[in-house]
Amino acid sequence: KKISSGKVRKFNLWKGRFRKIQRTINKDDKLFFVVDTDDVTNTECFSKNIKLLKLYNFCLIVQHKNLEEELCFSCNKANNKKLFNDFYKVQSADKFKSKFCRDKGIDLTLSNNDFNFKNFWSRSGDFSDWLKKNGISASIECNYKV
């Protein structure tokens, strides 16, 4: 199944309290969370949010390290320097992110860099282990494709 379009709302499972937005979500909504794994320090907040999410149809999409690492992996780039140069001829992460966020032709940019969507957000093994180690019961196996 493909993810259908809908509302996008930014919410940080590590820092925010899901209860605050819970009443705005319907029981039959499909919820997708991109989980940033480079800062997993607030385990208690994350765990409480996951427990509340069990009442809903939700999916955790795990981001390995950061967006640049995901793009390197998905475009088969050796490192960030190669990624930054091949995409926008820039040297720094800040300039790359700025250009990436403003890119009106992102489909073409990704295509020109041999982006493989099947590889994007596909590495979740370490995070599965982290969930088990911290006693958090949550599946990262989604029935939907991004």
**What pLDDT, on a 0 to 100 scale, did the predictor assign at position 110?**
96
The tally of CA atoms less than 13 A away on the side-chain side of residue 46 is 20
Q: Which of 126, 122, 139, 8 is nearest to 70 (CA)?
A: 122
**What pLDDT, on a 0 to 100 scale, did the predictor assign at position 146?**
45
Please, where are the H alpha helices in the chain?
19-22, 43-53, 67-75, 80-88, 93-102, 106-112, 125-133
**What pLDDT, on a 0 to 100 scale, did the predictor assign at position 69?**
92
Whole-number Å distance between alpha carbons of 67 and 58: 21
**What pLDDT, on a 0 to 100 scale, did the predictor assign at position 38?**
78
**What pLDDT, on a 0 to 100 scale, did the predictor assign at position 4?**
61
**What pLDDT, on a 0 to 100 scale, did the predictor assign at position 1?**
52
Give the chain's residues under pLDDT 50: 145-146
